[in-house]
Amino acid sequence: MKIGLVTPYDWSYPGGVRDHVWYLANEFMALGHDVRILAPASGPKRKIPEKHIYKMGVTTPIPANGSIARVVVFDPALTLRVRKVLQRENFDILSICFDCAFFTPNVATPAWTDCCLKCHS
C-alpha cells in the first residue's frame, strides 16, 4: 500500500508528533508499504533532502501548553504544492496527524477522493 503521513509540526525539531510520524513510517516500511511524509521544515535542515520526506511550508513558533509549537502557517502556494504531491503520489491511505485544519479543507480535491483519509489528534 502507498501511505502518506501528514504533520503540521516542523520536521527540523524533535518532538512528540514528529517522532510518532517517524516511527510509524518506519514500521509501515518494515511491513513492506511505500510511505511518504509531508511536513514543514525550517532552518538549515530544511535544505537537506531526506528519503521519503516532502519538506514544504513555513513554520511559526506558537506558545502552547508551556511549550513552543512550531507549526505550519496557511499559505496558498503551499496548498498548490500539497495538491500536486497528492496527485503525483496517488496514496491509498492519507493519515493526517494531529489537527491539520490548515490542510484538509484546502486540498480536498478529486486528486485523492479514491484514497482512505484518516485524521486524528
Domains within the chain, CATH numbers bracketed: 2-120 (3.40.50.2000)
Round to the nearest angstrom and report the end-to-end CA distance of the chain: 23
Instruction: Look at residue 112 in the predicted model and tell me its pLDDT.
Output: 47
pLDDT digit string, tens, across residues 87-104: 899 998 888 876 554 444
Cα separation of 72 and 59, whole Å?
4
Render pLDDT for 75-84 as a digit per residue (tens, 0 to 9): 788 888 888 8
511491513: which residue's cell?
31
Which residues on neighbouring strands pair with residue 2, listed in sequence order? 34
Residue 35 neighbours by CB under 8 Å, 6+ apart: 2, 3, 4, 5, 25, 28, 29, 52
How confident is the model over 34-56, as a mean pLDDT?
A: 88
Provide the percentage of residues in the chain whose pLDDT is more than 70.
80
